[in-house]
Amino acid sequence: MRPVNFGRIRARLDALAEIGPIAGGGSCRLALTDADRDGRDLVRNWMEDLGLRVDIDRIGNVTATWPADRFDPPLLIGSHIDTVATGGRNDGNLGVLAGLEVIETLIESGVSTTHPVAVAFFTDEEGSRFAPDMLGSQVFVGGMALEEALDLVAIDGARLGSELARIGYAGPGPCPAHPPHAYLELHIEQGPVLEAQGATIGVVTGVQGISWTELTITGQSNHAGTTPMALRHDAGYTAARVATFVRELATEMGPPQVATVGRIELRPNLVNVVASTATMTVDLRNTDEAELARAEAALAEAAEKVAAAEGVTVRSRRLARYAPVEFATPVVDLVERVATDQGWSVMRLPSGAGHDAQMLARVCPAGMVFVPSAGGISHNPAEHTEDADLEAGANVLLGCALELAGA
Ligand code: GLV
Ligand code: MN
Ligand code: MN
């Protein structure tokens, strides 16, 4: 079996990055925007050019199957092509385009497989515009009802179902879908571990638990010059105290606990007005479910306490909650064996980022291959992985696909 043609992966990654380009060489294709539609159209054309059968389901997940006339459960390779607003070139895109390349390599090599092989891109993996993240794959596996997902409202006020129809990706395929035979995903690590360890291939053991909370703090806007400090009900100050608490909590708990306040919006957001409301998000993650629950409880308690001290109210809304996931041992072992046999230095590690694979793991054996991220930078246009590492990852994906599909 010959290796993948990396030139094709490179060319497709670059062409996709030209859609929704942003300063610094990255892309902005927030889920279900016009840019997302244009990216979808491009990748879908590539799928059709290869003679694959392209199916779109009711949440907009797109799956391309080879051979086109096979309807039995495929080995599914997937990821996403939506991005955060400050997206790099590789996050998600690599997994989809490497999956397409695996199929093109199989076709050119003239091999046949026991199971069909399919490549998918899932709707709204990032969750930046419509929370939660991994939305399309969650609906795909029956983790969220289709109607609930279609009724989600974006940070810009748009309804998900309306946006899906507007961009032409409200397909007819059923959700939940039939479980695949198995699932594989190649992704950049998005963290610094592989690079620091000098490993080319990450054998992903699972994904840490994720908890997203939105807090809405309501106080009273008032004149910044005339209101004595002791008489304020300052939503901005309270949000700042919560943000500081969250950082200190993660520091106190120590690794693997991480905590992020990524969004704070103040109203009326003016220089000389005490803020009446603050809306903020808290992202908590841990590989240990009990520790994650402990962090969530500490956050809830601290938010109430600092709000009471300031005479403001705080309302909490859960945006996403996923328990830690462990991938199927046979798939994890397979990734390690294939990478080692191909001569790469390998390292086992859990994923810090959320991935569609953690949803697919609910319904079939699933696993992931990681490649290093330069400087551990991601969700940033500066995101970079050396071509040699991308190529290594694609060849490990190919090797695993051959075994799981029964070549
Ligand atoms: C999504 O990809 C996340 O990990 O936030
Ligand atoms: Mn991703
Ligand atoms: Mn991402």
In angstroms, rounded to a whole number, what is the distance separating the alpha carbons of residues 205 and 358?
11
For the record, the structure tokens of 47 come out as 């799928």
What angle, rounded to 10 degrees, do the helices at 387-405 and 93-109 form? 60
Q: Are 98 and 91 in contact (CB under 8 A)?
A: no
Backbone angles phi, psi at 347, to 5 degrees: -150, 135
Read off the pLDDT of residues 352-366 as tens digits, 9 standing for 90 and up.
Answer: 999 999 999 999 999
Interval between CA 10 and ligand 3 midpoint (Å): 19
pLDDT of residue 237: 98
CA of 84 to the centre of ligand 2 (A): 9
**Atom nearest to 355 CA in ligand 1:** 2
pTM of the full predicted structure?
0.95
Q: Can you tell me which atom of ligand 1 is nearest the CA of 352?
A: 4
pLDDT band at 1 (very low <50, low <70, confident <90, very high): confident
> 404 falls in which pLDDT band (50, 70, 90)?
very high
Q: How many whole angstroms from 221 Cα to the centroid of ligand 1?
A: 34
Within the chain, how many helices (H) and strands (E) appear?
A: 12, 13
Determine the residue of 79, 86, 126 to mutate for testing ligand 1's pocket, defined as the one with the most ligand atoms within 8 A of the Cβ atom. Answer: 126
Query: Could you give phi then psi for residue 61, rounded to 5 degrees?
Result: -70, 140
295-327 residue pLDDT tens = 999 999 999 999 999 999 999 999 999 999 999
The total number of residues written for the chain in this structure: 407
